[in-house]
Amino acid sequence: MDTTTRKCIIWAVACFVIAAGLYMVWPIFVASESDPPGGSNFFFGIVQPVLSFIQGVLVSIGGALVGAAVVLHWLTSRVSVTKGPLNQLS
C-alpha cells in the first residue's frame, strides 16, 4: 500500500473515532447541564449546534478520505510511473 493511501486511511479512521467520541460523550453533556432558572442554557444555545456541526464535518471528511484512499490505491496499482525527462510533443 502506498504511503499516501495509508495516510488517508489513518486520517479517516481518526475522523471517525473523534466523531464517534463526540456522539458517545454527547449524552453526558446533556445530562449534566440543567437549565438555570430565568436564564438560557449556554450548552443548548451555542455548544450543541457547534458540536453537531463538527461531528457532521468529521464524518464527511472521513468518508471523503476513504474514497480518496480507494482511488489512490487503484491508480497506484494500475499506473506505472516512469522516471526521467518527459516526452514533449512537437
Contact between residue 22 and residue 51 where contact means Cβ atoms under 8 Å apart: yes
Task: Supply the DSSP symbol for 39.
Answer: S
CA of 2: how far to CAs of 13, 30, 51, 78, 85, in Å? 17, 43, 34, 12, 23
Segment 2-51, tens digit of pLDDT: 888 899 999 999 999 999 998 888 777 666 655 555 545 666 677 778 88
Copy the grid coordinates of residue 64.
471523503
Three-class SS of 52-83: HHHHHHHHHHHHHHHHHHHHHHHHHHHCCCCC
At 64, the pLDDT band (50, 70, 90 cuts) reads very high
What's the confidence (pLDDT) of residue 74? 86
What's the confidence (pLDDT) of residue 89? 57
